[in-house]
Amino acid sequence: MLKATNQSSNGGARLFRGVPVDDIELEGVTGPHPFSYDELAAATGNFSDDRRLGRGGFGSVYAGFLTDGNHRDVAVKRVSETSRQGWKEFVSEVRIISRLRHRNLVQLLGWCHGGAGDGDLLLVYELMHNGSLDAHLYDPEGVLAWPARYATALGVGDALLYLHQEAERRVVHRDVKPSNVMLDASFTAKLGDFGLARLIDDGRRSHTTGVAGTMGYTKSDKGKFVLRMGWSRNLPLLTLAIVICSSQQHCSEQLD
Summarize the annotated binding site as residue ranges.
77
Helix residue ranges, H only, the chain: 37-43, 87-97, 133-137, 146-161, 235-244, 248-255
Q: Is 73 considered catalytic here?
A: no
**Nearest CA to 149 among 225, 243, 252, 217?**
243
H or E segment to which residue 220 belongs:
none
Residues comprising the chain, all counted: 256
- List the binding residues for ATP: 77
Cα separation, 39 vs 45, in Å, equals 10
Angle at 132 between CA 136 and CA 29, to 5 degrees: 165
Alpha helices (H) along 123-214: 133-137, 146-161
Q: Return the H-helix or E-strand segment holding 96.
A: helix 87-97
Q: 235-244 and 146-161 helices cross at what angle (nearest 10)?
A: 170
**Cα distance between residue 191 and residue 103, in whole Å:** 10
User: Whole-angstrom Cα distance, residue 190 to residue 26?
Assistant: 24
Choose, from 23, 120, 175, 193, the residue flagged as catalytic.
Answer: 175
Please identify every residue annotated as catalytic.
175
